[in-house]
Amino acid sequence: MSEPMRAPKGTFDTLPPDSAQFLAVRDTLTAPLRRAGYGYIETPTFEDTAVFSRGVGESTDVVSKEMYTFTDRGGRSLTLRPELTAGLMRSFIEHRLYAGALPVKLWAVGSAFRYERPQAGRYRHFTQVDCEALGVDDPALDAEVVALAVQGFRDLGLRDFELQLTSLGDATCRPQYRELLVDFLAKLDLDSDTRRRAEINPLRVLDDKRPEVQAQLDDAPLMVDHLSDSTKAHYDAVREHLTDLGVAWTEAPRLVRGLDYYTKTTFELVHSGLGSQSAIGGGGRYDGLSASLGGPDLSGIGYAVGVDRTLLAVQAEGLDIATSAGVQAFVVPLGAEAKRLAVKLVGQLREAGVSADTVYGDRGLKGAMKAADRSGASHAVVLGDRDLAEGVAQLRDLRSHEQVAVPLAELFDRVRATVGA
């Protein structure tokens, strides 16, 4: 026999029953967006490479080191998406969504891919919930987006997370700040790769995690200290709205997100129980992204939250996420005649909105009842030859183990009423 195939290094499979928690986290994170009127969007898992190289930024590690890029049979350079925002903006431009009412509010959920060193909390494929509000530059909208991200974590019951907030300025104040930062970095002992990165985007150096670099940055100028009057007023208004919404934050003047398109409001959500991989989500405003992808000069703000990373945070806090049972009723047939009735009953229950299942294959009572227990059902319907001869079925409570005989003519209504109670 050949060696069994395995998932690629740095990837993983999400399997039942643990996948129920994954789905619960995903759905809880997206619920605030649905309640706020955001519309669902789905874009391809791969895009033209330029969508990310131009949108995310050539100086980022994401573009320079981590993208999965390939040439297709038509000679086109394509890339598996390393994040969702750039692809959503491409779709916003291509389909002229900007021609309608603004802002355009969108949400998405899907896999992204980055070639990284696999470690706890960091994988080469991961799932993100993405939120975008496009076309309007309004600090109240910034606050709404930030609050929606926070609400998802609150709805999960998470407590040990922190919202870190700053402003990265805009085109009116970034150039002057850039000169100050470039002059400061020129005096430091940096390797050639870091200096090259600083020439493209000096802010990236502030995000360098190496201790030997961070040790030299204590006196680095900070963007938040050099905001223009209009940008400072924008940031002040964002914080006022967040206060009104009951959202607390920590000022993080050294915060630099890993993507080049961020301007003005920038934020990250971190969890204290995840060690070095503490970020569970983040985002910000990106006023130049649309124009860089060939669209109109419109602003946008959004965030991405890692479903996998958030699930780790849920587990770190020991939260019991309420998930519905796989099925509510499990039908156990014993014999060919009982099997026909079981299949029919399961179909009727499902059509009526009751989640139901039955046993398949040749199993005796003991094996079938084990399957019923594993299903998570609250009740089992046991159909045996003797019961059918008497015109009844046994309805068993799998929690209390109490059992009652129910006439076949009343079985459907009785099961539906019992498991729905």
Q: Please report, for the domain that includes residue 351, its CATH number.
A: 3.40.50.800
CA-based nearest residue to 414, from 379, 389, 390, 386: 379
Dist. CA 89–CA 95, nearest whole Å:
10
12 located within any domain? no
> What is the identity of the amino acid at 286?
Y
233 located within any domain? yes
What is the value of pTM for the model shown?
0.87
Residues 389 and 263 in one domain: no
Q: Which residue ranges make up the annotated binding site? A: 83-85, 114, 128, 132, 257, 261-262
> What is the identity of the amino acid at 47?
E
291 located within any domain? yes
Residues 271 and 412 in one domain: no
Any idea which of 239-253, 313-327, 341-355 has the lowest mean pLDDT?
A: 313-327
**Residue-wise pLDDT tens digits, 146-191:** 999 999 999 999 999 999 999 999 988 988 988 998 899 988 988 8
Domain coverage including residue 380: 329-420
Residues 307 and 389 in one domain: no
11 located within any domain? no
Tell me the average pLDDT of the chain.
Answer: 91
Phi, psi of 48 (to 5 degrees): -55, 135
Q: What mean pLDDT do residues 99-118 have? A: 94
CA-based nearest residue to 332, from 368, 379, 374: 368
**pLDDT reading at 287 higher than 90:** no
Residues 308 and 360 in one domain: no
Residues 24 and 121 in one domain: yes
Q: What mean pLDDT do residues 34-52 have? A: 96
Residues 364 and 310 in one domain: no
**pLDDT reading at 421 higher than 60:** no
| Burial status of residue 99 (CB atoms within 10 A of its CB: 0-12, 13-18, 19 or more) | exposed
Residues 275 and 346 in one domain: no
Of 264, 287, 317, the one marking the end of a domain is: 317
Residues 168 and 281 in one domain: yes
Residues 286 and 250 in one domain: yes
2 located within any domain? no
Residues 235 and 353 in one domain: no
Q: What token pair was written down for 418?
A: 């019992």
343 located within any domain? yes
204 located within any domain? no
Number of domains making up the chain: 2
Res 62: pLDDT: 79
150 located within any domain? yes
**pLDDT reading at 64 higher than 80:** no
Any idea which of 2-11, 114-123, 307-316 has the lowest mean pLDDT?
A: 114-123
Res 103: pLDDT: 97
Q: Which residue ranges make up the annotated binding site for L-histidine? A: 83-85, 114, 128, 132, 257, 261-262
Residues 251 and 107 in one domain: yes
Dist. CA 288–CA 86, nearest whole Å:
12
